[in-house]
Structures are given as structure tokens and as C-alpha cells.
Structure 1
Amino acid sequence: MDEPTILLTNDDGIESAGLRAVYDGLDAVGDVTVVAPADDQSAVGRAISHEVSVREHELGYVVEGTPTDCVVAGLEALVPETDLVVAGCNRGANLGAYVLGRSGTVSAAVEATFFEVPAIAVSMYIPVRDDTAFADIEADGDSYAEAVRATSYLADHAFEAGVFEQCDYLNVNAPVAEWGPAELEVTQPSRVYEMGAVRDGDAVTLHDRIWERMAEGDIPDPEGSDRRAVVDGKVSVSPLTAPHTTEHHESLDALAETYDPAAGP
């Protein structure tokens, strides 16, 4: 492939340091156009709007909407010649199978696959001990260097290597650059799930306990998992498919055969 046309989006908003860092890195790989939300759209999943307003920006376009809105608008109306969608770099990791559907960053990559456009979602892990403190963590452009290096490398070489002939999108998670040079490891999303909830009167606080364990380096995730790789200071790359896979189930067939539509509830 000649120089690819790249649509760059994110969920942190068009003014985020992570998006700008990835833009600068990808600029040496292909023709990059940003189509990104006007403001923070973290954890919106694949939420989509009926109509969004769009305005021009020095990097491309600003969309008053979600990351999914950006991808649909970008591929259908703004940058229809796109060869590759890149989403990120997100300020904070998107690790574990249970996180994939929540993440606006990963959801943007998933949306691209329905257009049969390959995609890369990229996020940077920032060690924190509590979800509520995360909003106060700042990261400048230099902190994203390992994420940018890995993303640019994959965008430059994945097509020729045939990577997207075997997967639909890549979920990339990198440690902060301050940890030093990071190797790249092919991984699978961790299945470890540690969400909890505590009731206090009329309120219930939801909490992901894995963040504290990650900050301590004490995680239950096995070798080969995305979370283990990042905590060990590596760049995790998970090759994934979309939409969700389905399998034939004989037990469900049996239920379908005995179903009586005339019977009462």
C-alpha cells in the first residue's frame, strides 16, 4: 500500500495531548485527518447520535458527538477514502475483556470494522490507586512516546504483513514513556474481573478494584494477558475481531424445537 489515508479520532476530545502526540507520529506514516469529539466522551461505549454538528479544525474536523459519531461521520461524509482508523491515544489504559465495550476509544475502532476499515485503538496506562483520583492525573505529550512509537510502527507495517487479514482491529496499550523503552507483546484481553459495589444509604458506589492492584504490581492476570504485559512495562497488542462471534449450540436448538408460541407466559 502507498501512503495510507488515516482517520484519527479519540474519546478524550480534540484538544487532548494524547491525540496530538499520535497525530504527530502518524504524520510520518500517512495522510492524517482528525475527526474527533469536541469534548471528553470517555466511557460512552458505542453511543451514537441522530445528528451532529461539525466544524473545521486545523487538524481536520470537530464533531459535537461521540467517538462512534466521529467514525460514522468521518467514513461516510468527511474522509470517505480512509484506509485506516486510529483511535487515541487515550489517557488511561483500556485493558481487560470487560472494558472493551465501555471504552469510547475501543468502540471507535469497533465501529470502523463494520465499514470493513481496519483500525487501531491505542491507550496509555497511567498508574493510579483510585478511579476518582484519575481525573486529576495529567500527562504531557512526551509521556505518550511509547504509545506513539508502537502505533506508528503498526500503522506503517501491519498492512504489508497481512495483520488485518487475520483480525479486524488492534487494541494497543502502552506504559508511560517515563518507564523507559518498552517491548511489544501480542496478548489476549484479560478475563479477570474485579468490579465491586458498596451501598451507603441511598447511594451505591461502583469501584474497579483492579486499579489499586495494578499500581502495586500485584495482579492476578496470567502471562499473555494484556494487563500483565502493561504492568510488566511492555506494549500490549491484542488482535481482535468484531462483531461478537457466535457459535452453534445444540442445547439452544433443543429449546427452540420445544418452544410453543401458543403457550402462555
Structure 2
Amino acid sequence: MDEDEPAILLTNDDGIDSAGLQALYEGLSAVGDVTVVAPAEDQSAVGRAISHEVEVRDHELGYVVEGTPTDCVVAGLEALLPETDLVIAGCNRGANLGAYVLGRSGTVSAAVEATFFDVPAIAVSMYIPVREDAAFSDIEANGDSYGEAARATTYLADHALGAGVFEQCDYLNVNAPVAEWGPADIEITRPSQLYQMDAVHDGDAVTLHDRIWEHMADGDIPDPEGTDRRAVVDGKVSVSPLTAPHTTEHHEALDALAETYDPEA
């Protein structure tokens, strides 16, 4: 290993055999010493779910874990690859855009978990144009489709640490368009705050529906300039510099409530 190359732990939530992970592995290997610690099976949308014990097996790319993306990061940074300089999660098959989506994503959650170890991280996802009523599993996404995501991630992995990017943020949330759209510039963004979920009660079931997918597929979204969704729909690579969740601020109204609380009442 070149002493100037970062030691990169690569994980994901789509499983170790996914085309997106392979695309990142190939790109990142040009700029770092990459070891995969990834789930054995698809763990999409598990958030920061964690296990008590996981089975770990050797793999030609590193290690395969019978667990979640968070399991992979904790096991990797504490037991398997303690000298890691950078954690990268992805590339996810499907975008992770908007503030309300971030906590659901196994991909983003892996990056968040790394920040609690004081290890910088990058979560990477690829937007696939699909309407909510289409079968997502029917949408083709081969290795070539991840070209723009891999290119941008490799660039960031090569330069962000030395440039001091992580002195002002904990992790980057990267979303790229499919490579078939053509070359894509990087735009620094913020997560969209627009919430598009609704629910319909029909008989014994309630259907949960995220209306943003139809807007995105039509290229007609309400998100303003500077947001992650707007950048991706416009054919750019969205890079949002973020901090780990659950920050605390002084709250005078809550302080007042605590002062008037009577535990014996």
C-alpha cells in the first residue's frame, strides 16, 4: 500500500454482490487501499438497525457480514479494519434525497455510524428515473450505469481528506444521475425539506405513498435551486455536506418546563 493512499472501508446496503458496490470498488482502488465489509444480502431501508452478534466470512474483496450496514461499520472499524481512514457506503441502487429519507437509508446510516468513530464518510447513491407505480426491481442498472457515481466518489475520496472538507462536516451524502444521462458536474447542495409522503386507507390496509417519485420522473419537482433533488433532476451530482444527527441547542422553553416539574405531584 502507498503510504499516501487512504485505507478505505467500503460497505453498502444492497449486498456484497451488487453492481453498485463493484463499480465503486473498481474506481476507488485507483486512489486508495479498499477493503469491502458488506452485508451478505440486501439490507435496503433498514436505517441504523444493529445486531448483537454477526457471522463474518472472508471474501475476495474483504469480508461479508450476515448483518446490516451499521453492523458492517461497527465490526469493520472496531475489529476488522481499525486503521481505516475513510468509510464509503454505496453505491446504492436508487437515490437517497431529501431530509426525510436520510434516516431510513441503510446506505446513509452506514456513513452516519462511521462519524461516531470520528472517521469521515461518504454515502453514495444513484438516481434511477422510475415512477412510484413501476416495479423498481424491473429497472435495469448495470455496472456502466454507475459510471458518474463512481467517478465523482473517486474524485472526492482522492481529494476531500487533504482539502480539509471533513473539518467542517462529518459526512457527505452523494447522489448521482445514471451515467446514460451523460457527464455530470458536481453541485454542493442541502437536503430538500419538502415532504411528499401521504397515506390512503382502503379496507384493511393503508397504502403509504411518496409522491416525489412521479414529480422526479416527469422532471417537474417543487424543490428549489440548491437542494439535492433539484440538482439530480437537473443532471448533476449532488454532494451534501452533513453532520451526524441529534444535535442539541439551548432551549429556554424546555428549561422553564423542567424548573416547574414537580416529581411528587
Question: TM-score scaled by structure 2?
Answer: 0.98
| Cα displacement (A) at 1:135 | 2.1
Q: Which runs of 5+ in 2 are unaligned?
A: none
Deviations along 1:123-177, whole A, 9 cap, x unmatched? Answer: 0000001165112212001000000010000000001110001100000000000
Asked if 2 retains the 8 angstrom alpha-carbon contact of 1:131 and 1:208, the reply is no
TM-score (norm 1): 0.98
Find 2:151's aligned residue among 149, 152, 160. 149
Is there any run of 5+ residues in structure 1 with no aligned partner, and where?
Answer: none
Deviation at 1:244, TM superposition (A): 2.1
Task: Give the length in aligned residue pairs.
Answer: 263
**Aligned twin of 1:113:** 115
Q: Give % identity.
A: 86
Q: Which amino acid aligns with 1:156?
A: D
1:1-265 correspondence runs (5 A):
2-130=4-132, 133-263=135-265
Alpha-carbon RMSD across the aligned residues, in angstroms, is: 0.9
| Contact 1:131/1:211 (8 A) holds in 2 | no
Alpha-carbon shift at residue 67 of structure 1 (Å): 0.1
Structure 1 position 39, deviation (Å)? 0.6
Shift of 1:243: 3.3
Change in Cα spacing, 1:237 to 1:255, as seen in structure 2 (3 Å) is same
Q: What are the superposed Cα offsets for residues 219-246 of structure 1, whole Å, 9 maximum, x if unpaired?
A: 1101000000000000000000013222
Alpha carbons of structure 1 residues 239 and 26: separation in structure 2 relative to 1, 3 Å? same
Q: Secondary structure in 2 aligned to 1:24?
A: helix
Q: Kindly provide the amino acid, as one letter, of the partner of residue 253 in structure 2.
A: S
The 4+ residue runs of structure 1 with deviation greater than 3 A are none
* 100-109 or 243-252, which deviates more: 243-252
